[in-house]
Structure 1
Amino acid sequence: MKRIAMTAGALAVATGSWAQADWSAVVSECEALADKAAPQSASERDAALGACVREKSGALRTRLQAQKVAEEKRKNDGFRVFLRDSSTAVVNPGGSELGAKGASLSILYKDGEDHSLAQVGLFGYWNARDVATLPVQPFIGASWQRDPTATPKNDIRDLTAGVVTQPWGVGAAGGFIPLIILQGIHRTDLYGTKDGTLFRAHADLLWPPLSRGTFSIVPHVAGLWHRRTEGGAQEGWWRSAYAGVVVSANWPLPNSQSITTSLLARRFYDVSVPDGNEKRRDKYLKLGLDYNLFDVNDTNAAFQPSLFLQREIGENFLTGVSKANKTSFGIRVKLTH
């Protein structure tokens, strides 16, 4: 499987994909050739015309199919860039492809005032390549998370790089497919104490009947190694782990738009911490409701806006933001190129 995005390895071109071809030009060309030919009976002319149309139609189909294959190869082999939410959410909730939710600007009402929050990231990936018989898909990214209402304030900038791979494909191990993410993150925390470098080994466990289409349930486990460099008692290696599940469902609307509901639940705990620090244990819960202002079935949509309402509770060790208990709403935009 050349793309970890679960796309089919072979391209099947349906008859409908040729619907926009200029078949009238084929018929006109054959009629012109028939008119220039030696005089024939009506039946001979019709037979010759039919043979000409079949021959040239077949050639046109072959050319169109070659163009589609070339276009698909260009898309799959090239470098793709996304504007999305963060560099830590590498895979969609359904585990189906790289590139997670769109970048968001939202409003939080707290203590009688409105505050603006931001989650913005640039994320790019190359098509998967076989390395020692395993498909390996490299990615890079940068993100910014801002929340002035947190204590302390959150203003976190990440640079990241990593790979996604599948040890085996569909049909092995009872049909379950592990999607492995190996990632390094360089973090700058302007207000907190999370400066440093993170390494993550994350595994999504996909089961095709529950990880495609309009509904998905994807459990996951991961290990985190965070080397803090801001100085003080918290400097050093923080080794953590988490386990959780992502549940998402898409509810189509009559106007080709849709509503997406999602749940992210994780349990974090520290395995080891620098001397003088207490081990942390916390749970993180995020509930989301998105009104998608685009056709979610259009996989080629470059501009994907949505309105969202989101509830967060707990601390997410991975993102580095402060412990949350908040509800926010706003607009989310995902751009692909």
Structure 2
Amino acid sequence: MVFDLAFIWAGLIAFAVLAYVILDGFDLGVGILFPLMRSEAEKDLAMNTVAPVWDGNETWLVLGGGGLFAVFPLAYAVIMPALYVPIIVMLLALVFRGVAFEFRWRTKRGKFLWDLSFFGGSLVATLAQGVALGALVQGIAVEGRAYAGGNWDWLTPFSLLTGVALVAGYALLGATWLVMKTDGPVRSVAHRLSLWLGGVTLALVGLVSLITPFLNPLYLDRWFTFPNALFSAFVPALILIAAFMFHKGLHEGRDAWPFLSALALFVLSFVGLGISFYPYMVPPSLTIWEVAAPDESLWFLLAGALVLVPMILAYTGYAYWVFRGKVDPAGGYH
């Protein structure tokens, strides 16, 4: 039996990126919504809902970035120079946000500064991720197996649109997470925000989806040419079903449904992105197989991944199981 190692590793990297987006997305969303909490008690409760899991969620970012460097070195060497600015901004913002998690509990006089760091770090990191994604979708100039574009090619109206869309999407995840994990005033605020953010996110996802096929003939062929269109049509159909379940869950008081439906929206959008990209790792020039490391390296790294990935999944699942249910405002996690 012949294994397509490059394809397997592309799937693993895609899984790690998706796991990061759906897991770290909601705690970044809680940070984006932080200023809308009306009291210190509400802010403490909102932060306590993500305190047990936020650092574990970022494991997937390390796995995705480290895996790209080790397994697809040419893709890493092309993508990083193209996206240096948004990626460095994202990492610095995540540092500020991570420090705020620890320091805001240890001070009274300067607590507002750490609240601002938590909000600002979450917002800037999300915006930077969205801009980087938009820049990758619109294509990276490659010449002679190296980046051939300018320092500011990543900054375009489309990349800014994807940045704003991701901010809205993560805020939606954060709001629906708070609906699921809290009661009382925090849940009431999050419930109202979820209704508004659901519509905004769906509209922005639709706008990005309408523009994307016209950025590259490959995307246009994948989505609108028969028979590819028959295969691709299931994604928007499932997104409409997720939107219906989201609306139904909010109006019937089924607190887990809106969060799960929002996660489904992200998963389906990610699947749609994969349909557009395949078989390119760096669109529109470099395929998965052109940027992969030698098979010997892929086999060696795969042996480690087969041990580490199940371990990460196991402790992540256990953490979420231990801290399941609503958060007690009196007890908390800290």
Q: Which has the higher strand share?
A: 1
Query: So what's the TM-score if we normalise by structure 1?
Result: 0.22
Q: Which has the higher helix share?
A: 2
Larger Rg: 1
Instruction: Work out which structure has the larger RCO, using CA pairs closer than 8 Å and 6 or more positions apart in sequence.
Output: 2
Query: So what's the TM-score if we normalise by structure 2?
Result: 0.22
